[in-house]
Chains A and B, each alone.
Chain A
Amino acid sequence: MLLALALRARAALWRARAADRRRFVPLTLLLAFIEGGFVASVLSLALTLLLLGAPITALVLLALIAWLVVPHWLIDALAIPRGWHRAAWHLARFDPRGDAATWPSLVAARAAARTGAPSAAVAWITGRLPARLDGAGVVVHGLLAHGAGDRGDARRLLHSLTALQAPGVDAQVIASEWLALDAAERGAWRELVDGIATWPATPLRYLLEAVALRRLALPRAPGAASRWLRWLVAPARLATWRYLRAAPAAAPAATTTATAAPVEPASADARVAAATALVAAAQAPSPERAAAAVAAWRDVLDDPAWLPAQLARAAALGLDPTAAVRTVGAARDGVIARLVQLTVASRAPLPAGDVGVAAAVRAGARARILDGLEVGFDRLHARVATDGGELAMIDEWREFLAVRDGYEAAVAPGGVELERVAFPHADTALGEWAVALWNRRRQHHASHAITSWLFARAREVGDAAAVEHHGRNRALAIPEA
């Protein structure tokens, strides 16, 4: 009875710590104290029994108590490293760190990922997930994707928790650690620091954040003592030890991407410079290079002397006047088509200007971006409207993430003016999708996330009707499972 109460209290503490990062330090100390107490009492009891000459009873008691009192150690030290997803699942129901409803699947997914997420294990774990996709479900699929070797998919899924209104603390804890380690691996320290406000603290995350602050040499970076303390409370000390030792005092700023050197006009000849800029932009696409190419070609093609010179050359190649005009026009169009392609592919801001090359590139790129978006939204709309067009829920979620990211990346170069034109299509297709998910499939979490995103975009473009509509849907409470 007393033990049950104590266990309950401990579990409450674990969750409180995960939910509120401000109380991380005091609650960690308290938890360490309680865990120590548990272990000390269990060990002394077992020792007493052993001394009393009842080794069998001692062992049985020890096993029972281990099952109840320290399942989290068994999970971390045995089930996950060995990839025993079933054992992990059953042990996790007694793990004080998480909710019995979601934690077992998450832990089991971690274990299965260890062995490469074999399909039998995936089926076993996903079969235990509720039909309604929630934060834990998304994280389970993310971990399994990582297990199967698709790190990008895993990153996208785990990060997508931020789109959910109530992802659940357990899911956030797991995602938080995974994303932190992934960012650390890529050296994307800035991501870690930016996520401090978003993700719950866990001992490992707490350590990595300290490292990131230090690597970026930010003023709020903690001192050496704090860092070592964080290391001490974090798991996997052996693995992190080497990294911590190797941490340099101050690393160069992390976000210096390879700055594209502006293309130097290699020749006084404007045409050669423009050809060079085109090749440079195609070789290493970047917004700067694409813009430079557009500017260089503007100098060539908008020059009033260009057309007569080209017509003369066409005549020299044996073309008659009609064909020459057409051919020279086609050559200009060919260059503009390549500039449009480069501008769209590198997501360069659309060039400003009402005449000549800039206007043509702008119009071409604009039409291409909008066409691409409209086709995608139409297709989505058609699928949602078709009976039997439904995908597995996690695939629907993946599609939402892809559509959302694709849309945001596509409209960015054109600013709010372009987005305003693109938004109605997104609104129609995704709006109906969200409604279908909510009403037909009872996928409230995903539906709510889509509505919230549409609401945010509608506000961005100032679409009052959509703001009102999605605002109202967004205010609907997600029903309890």
Chain B
Amino acid sequence: MAQQPLYAGFDLGTTNSAVAVFDGQHTQVIRNAAGGAVTPSVVRIDRAGRVTVGQRARRFLEDDPDNTATEWKRLMGTGKAVAFPAAGVSKRPEELSAEILKALRADVADQLGTAVERAVISVPALFELPQSAATSEAARLAGFARVELLQEPIASALAAGWRADDDGTASWLVYDLGGGTFDASLLETRDGLLRVVAHDGDNFLGGRDFDWAITEHLAAELARQTGVQLERKDPSHAGALRLLRLAAEDAKIELSRSPTAQVTLARPLVVGDRELDVDLALSRATVEALTAPLIERSLAVCLRLLAGNGLGPGRLARVVLVGGPTLSPGLRAQVQARLEATAADGLDPMTLVAQGAALYAATAGLDGRAAPTAAPQGKKVWLQYPPVSSDLTPHVVGRVVGADPPARLRLERADGGWQSPDAAIGPDGGFVTMVSLVPRAASTFRLVATAADGAAIAVDPATITIVAGLTIADPPLSRTIGVALASDHVQVYFERGAPLPTRRSFTHTTVETIAAGNPDSVLRIPIVQGEFEQAHLCRLVGTLEVRGVDVKTTVPTGATVEVTIELDRAGCLAARAHVPAIDQVFEQVAHLLVPDAAPAALDAALADQRRHLMQVRTDAFRHGLRELIDKLGAVEGLLASAERDIDAAHGGDADAGQKARRTLIEIDAVLAEADLARSWPELDGEAHEAAIIATGAVAAFGSDAERKLLDEVLAALARARRERDLAELGRQLRLVRRLSSAAWNRNPDAWTYHLEDAASAIHEARDLPAARKLVDAGRVAVAAGDTDAVRRAVKQLWALLPVDAAARKKGFDSGVR
């Protein structure tokens, strides 16, 4: 009989990582060589190029911070390399993660004697495709043959709910506060099947922020004592701040056991030419006061998530707390009180994710051992069954390989308590049968095959094991994926929560010509990820390109393009565009990285949004839009936090730069919504005014047909105003203006007016001398009463003036609709 299976799950955390295995019966957390259940996510590369990871590397964070890296997880998928000056090398984040995975894999091999080939790796729920793809790449670099990714909250819930007793329907909340991210996930169990109902979170709120809050407090205290203010935006203060932060971290851990702690540093801090001695007192109450706003921020996310799903506090069956910071007694109390739910006991928040990942590896049938090479003992049978099942009577489907298949086959439970009826084996060697499991336990079944004459036939495998327990059907997609359209809308391909792997096709229409042989002609099909309706707010994760140099013949605008997007469980995206008109397929996807957040660009964006906010607010006050004013208050706070992060980015903190970039996108979304809200009264006023002008102009100079037309258009305008349809109002307004100007231009004086109007804007003309000449010619014509000549001059003048509608580069320059 085959050995017990080995299912491995890895938790690749921001500050700490862990690995657990599941053998079909029990989960086991694998301890590292130093005996720790978790391995710090720290990598050091010394002068000789030797790589040290984990606890041994962590010790160098203080002494040799330049050559010791940590917290690179937030940089996954950004392509930003981490430099190790002593060895003169730089490593991509996925390479650093690979080092951690290698170390954890070696720990498993040391203790269990098996090098795992296939495994499940957990990723934050809100990881986007580039980040997931980078994680898969890290696994590949670490020597894994195959991995699947699982979102951390699902892993935690699986581990917490594994063999849970509640059979009915219950809602759980996973509160996962990691080193760098916060995730809240609402899950539902129904008949033993776990389903993710909704996610929310803050990709940039974590234990790290707690540490910074304490560090900043300490820095302020230090400033009070010594008069030296340490600033994050000053690169020369970075070293001192890092030391202070490590001290704060230690103090925080000490405070979870005792009410006060002393922050002392072995050596004085060197700031410029001054040496500062650090000896500060810190109390639990102070820390709780410092971190309470951050916890409150996380709870706001939770409550928003619950409210969004029609749940109030008190409706939760349980809260699962995950992550190092949740060890803090203050936090546990605050969370349980606000959510009115008890936290599950007896769970280790530090290794829960790894355990869940291991359990999921079993559900997915991802046995970590290399494929057995032993010769089959008996007739080979290919079997499909759920290794873990929430259903107590799952199906087992099999197919006997080779000639002379047995006539019948049945399964007998090893405990002798049950046996299946004989299943007939079809002409293709296939059979389908059902088995009965022992609740909340592992059941082993013997395969008993018999020939037509009743003689027993040996089959391989001879037994199978199925565990009854909580399962999840397919890992769901964490964020919606779609194609950005030229209109800046998104055509959604996969909704958040869609089961992976998945594939879907839609037909689009091109809005520009792809000129054959023209290297400048490229049709872009941007693939974006995010839940915003406007494409430019979502993240661009790849661009499918149809190049002019690749098409056989020119594809004129309006041609159809069938786009297919596929996504596997390891976060890898494949896309294909088929252009039926030329019967060609394009698969060239430019995979993008998370965009770089250069501090200068962030400064500019911040200033831009400040200006934008001012405008919106002025308008909101003018039109008395109370609701809008309230919303803008929140933007203020976001701007302040973005500014802080940009300051840190100037000080060399790339991670803070990424965080600021995300915040700015959020602000953009709020402002875009505000723009819509404020543009209504403006447009409505314009429409009202235009209608009055048009009525006058058409009455005076219009034809009968135009009067009739105006009546129709005014009716449509009124309807659009009534229904508050912004787009429609804009369209009808344009019609009213056209009618109005057509009539008005019949007025002999109209062109004189246009001439003077254009003359007043002449300084903006592309060719000033030519424009001047035209104005003079126009004035001469006015004097001569030559209306046609005036009109000609005005039209030529208009051609020299700038067009106000600059081409919008939104929607990632998509070439399809």
Q: Is B556 an interface residue (CB 8 A)?
A: yes
Q: In the complex the two chains form, is A402's CB within 8 Å of B741's CB?
A: no
Contacts of B581 in A (CB 8 A): 152
Contacts A376-B558, A462-B705; A145 near B553 (Cβ below 8 A): yes
Contacts of B725 in A (CB 8 A): 363
Q: Is A193 an interface residue (CB 8 A)?
A: no
A459: min CB distance to chain B, Å: 11
A315: min CB distance to chain B, Å: 12
User: Which residues of chain B in 724-757 are interfacial with respect to chain A, using CB atoms and an 8 Å cutoff?
Assistant: 725, 727-728, 731-732, 734-735, 738-739, 741-743, 745
Binds A, one of B84-92, B137-145, B225-233, B511-519: B511-519
Q: In the complex the two chains form, is A402's CB within 8 Å of B557's CB?
A: yes
Q: In the complex the two chains form, is B557's CB within 8 Å of A421's CB?
A: no
Contacts of A50 in B (CB 8 A): none
Q: Is A370 an interface residue (CB 8 A)?
A: yes
Q: Is A318 an interface residue (CB 8 A)?
A: yes
Q: Is A382 an interface residue (CB 8 A)?
A: yes
Q: Is B487 an interface residue (CB 8 A)?
A: yes
Binds B, one of A81-89, A166-174, A296-304, A387-395: A387-395
Chain A 376-415 per-residue mask, 1 if CB under 8 angstroms from chain B, else 0: 1011111101101001101100110111011000000000
Alpha-carbon distance A398/B738, docked complex (angstroms) = 29
- B709 is contacted by which of A401, A424, A462 (Cβ under 8 Å)? A462
Chain B 127-139 per-residue mask, 1 if CB under 8 angstroms from chain A, else 0: 0000000000000
Contacts of A466 in B (CB 8 A): 738
Alpha-carbon distance A468/B795, docked complex (angstroms) = 14
Majority secondary structure, B binding face? loop
Contacts of A401 in B (CB 8 A): 556
**Number of chain A residues whose Cβ lies closer than 8 Å to a Cβ of chain B:** 50
Interface residues on B, range: 35 or more
B719: min CB distance to chain A, Å: 9
Q: In the complex the two chains form, is B310's CB within 8 Å of A320's CB?
A: yes
User: Which residues of chain A in 300-351 are interfacial with respect to chain B, using CB atoms and an 8 Å cutoff?
Assistant: 318-323
Alpha-carbon distance A323/B186, docked complex (angstroms) = 15
Contacts of B521 in A (CB 8 A): 391
Contacts A379-B512, A462-B705, A465-B742; A403 near B557 (Cβ below 8 A): yes
- B742 is contacted by which of A320, A371, A388, A464 (Cβ under 8 Å)? A464
Contacts A152-B581, A375-B511, A379-B486; A464 near B553 (Cβ below 8 A): no
Contacts A402-B557, A402-B558, A465-B741; A395 near B703 (Cβ below 8 A): no
- B515 is contacted by which of A152, A391, A435 (Cβ under 8 Å)? A391
User: Which residues of chain B in 505-538 are interfacial with respect to chain A, using CB atoms and an 8 Å cutoff?
Assistant: 509, 511-513, 515-516, 518, 520-521
Q: Is B208 an interface residue (CB 8 A)?
A: no
Q: Is A20 an interface residue (CB 8 A)?
A: no
Q: In the complex the two chains form, is A421's CB within 8 Å of B731's CB?
A: yes
User: Which residues of chain B in 672-725 are interfacial with respect to chain A, using CB atoms and an 8 Å cutoff?
Assistant: 702-703, 705-706, 709, 712-713, 716, 725
Q: Is B236 an interface residue (CB 8 A)?
A: no
Q: In the complex the two chains form, is A463's CB within 8 Å of B742's CB?
A: yes
Q: Is B224 an interface residue (CB 8 A)?
A: no
- B511 is contacted by which of A145, A148, A153, A379 (Cβ under 8 Å)? A379
Alpha-carbon distance A319/B485, docked complex (angstroms) = 34
A395: min CB distance to chain B, Å: 5
- A405 is contacted by which of B558, B713, B735, B745 (Cβ under 8 Å)? B558
Q: Is B554 an interface residue (CB 8 A)?
A: yes
Contacts of B515 in A (CB 8 A): 391-392, 395
Contacts of A153 in B (CB 8 A): 553-554
Q: In the complex the two chains form, is B703's CB within 8 Å of A376's CB?
A: no
Q: In the complex the two chains form, is B169's CB within 8 Å of A318's CB?
A: yes
- B734 is contacted by which of A145, A424, A464 (Cβ under 8 Å)? A424
Q: Is A420 an interface residue (CB 8 A)?
A: yes
Q: Please report the number of residue pairs spanning A and B whose Cβ atoms sit closer than 8 angstroms.
A: 119
Contacts of B703 in A (CB 8 A): 464
Q: In the complex the two chains form, is B706's CB within 8 Å of A464's CB?
A: yes
A156: min CB distance to chain B, Å: 9
- A403 is contacted by which of B516, B558, B732 (Cβ under 8 Å)? B558
Q: In the complex the two chains form, is A421's CB within 8 Å of B735's CB?
A: yes
Q: In the complex the two chains form, is B738's CB within 8 Å of A463's CB?
A: yes
B382: min CB distance to chain A, Å: 36
Q: Is B808 an interface residue (CB 8 A)?
A: yes
Chain A 337-375 per-residue mask, 1 if CB under 8 angstroms from chain B, else 0: 000000000000000000000000001000100111011
Alpha-carbon distance A313/B589, docked complex (angstroms) = 44
Alpha-carbon distance A402/B510, docked complex (angstroms) = 11
Q: In the complex the two chains form, is B735's CB within 8 Å of A392's CB?
A: no
Q: Is B328 an interface residue (CB 8 A)?
A: no
Most central of B489, B521, B554 by chain A CB within 10 Å: B554
B687: min CB distance to chain A, Å: 14
Q: In the complex the two chains form, is A378's CB within 8 Å of B808's CB?
A: yes
Q: Is B309 an interface residue (CB 8 A)?
A: yes
Contacts A152-B581, A320-B310; A383 near B558 (Cβ below 8 A): no
Contacts of A318 in B (CB 8 A): 169
Alpha-carbon distance A104/B703, docked complex (angstroms) = 52
Q: In the complex the two chains form, is B309's CB within 8 Å of A323's CB?
A: yes
Q: Is A460 an interface residue (CB 8 A)?
A: no
Q: Is B112 an interface residue (CB 8 A)?
A: no
Alpha-carbon distance A370/B728, docked complex (angstroms) = 10
B773: min CB distance to chain A, Å: 17
Contacts of B743 in A (CB 8 A): 464
A422: min CB distance to chain B, Å: 9
Alpha-carbon distance A391/B514, docked complex (angstroms) = 9
In chain B, what residue has the closest Cβ to A324? Answer: B310
User: Which residues of chain B in 646-687 are interfacial with respect to chain A, using CB atoms and an 8 Å cutoff?
Assistant: none
Alpha-carbon distance A152/B552, docked complex (angstroms) = 14
B118: min CB distance to chain A, Å: 36
User: Which residues of chain A in 432-481 are interfacial with respect to chain B, using CB atoms and an 8 Å cutoff?
Assistant: 435, 462-466, 468
A472: min CB distance to chain B, Å: 9
In chain A, what residue has the closest Cβ to B507? Answer: A345
Q: In the complex the two chains form, is A420's CB within 8 Å of B735's CB?
A: yes
User: Which residues of chain B in 545-598 are interfacial with respect to chain A, using CB atoms and an 8 Å cutoff?
Assistant: 552-554, 556-559, 581-582
A285: min CB distance to chain B, Å: 12
Contacts of A371 in B (CB 8 A): 487, 489, 727, 817
- B518 is contacted by which of A145, A374, A392 (Cβ under 8 Å)? A392
Contacts of B486 in A (CB 8 A): 375-376, 379
Q: In the complex the two chains form, is A375's CB within 8 Å of B487's CB?
A: yes
User: Which residues of chain A in 250-278 are interfacial with respect to chain B, using CB atoms and an 8 Å cutoff?
Assistant: none
Q: Is B803 an interface residue (CB 8 A)?
A: yes
B91: min CB distance to chain A, Å: 42
B355: min CB distance to chain A, Å: 29
Q: In the complex the two chains form, is B742's CB within 8 Å of A424's CB?
A: no
Q: In the complex the two chains form, is B745's CB within 8 Å of A382's CB?
A: no
B697: min CB distance to chain A, Å: 12
Q: In the complex the two chains form, is A323's CB within 8 Å of B553's CB?
A: no
Contacts of B556 in A (CB 8 A): 395, 398-399, 401-402
Contacts of B309 in A (CB 8 A): 323
Contacts of B520 in A (CB 8 A): 388
Q: Is A150 an interface residue (CB 8 A)?
A: yes
Alpha-carbon distance A462/B702, docked complex (angstroms) = 12
Most central of A319, A372, A405 by chain B CB within 10 Å: A372
Q: In the complex the two chains form, is A391's CB within 8 Å of B513's CB?
A: yes
Contacts A145-B553, A406-B557; A385 near B738 (Cβ below 8 A): no
Q: In the complex the two chains form, is B742's CB within 8 Å of A372's CB?
A: no
Q: In the complex the two chains form, is B552's CB within 8 Å of A376's CB?
A: no
Contacts of B487 in A (CB 8 A): 371-372, 374-375
- A376 is contacted by which of B557, B712, B745, B803 (Cβ under 8 Å)? B557
Alpha-carbon distance A354/B432, docked complex (angstroms) = 55
The 6 closest A-B CB pairs, nearest first, are A465-B742, A382-B807, A402-B556, A406-B558, A323-B310, A398-B556
Q: Can you name 6 A-B residue pairings with CB atoms under 8 Å?
A: A150-B582, A376-B558, A379-B511, A383-B512, A395-B516, A402-B556
Please give 11 more A-B residue pairs, beta carbons under 8 A apart, in addition to A372-B487, A392-B554, A399-B557: A148-B553, A150-B552, A323-B310, A371-B489, A375-B487, A376-B511, A376-B558, A391-B521, A406-B558, A420-B713, A463-B742
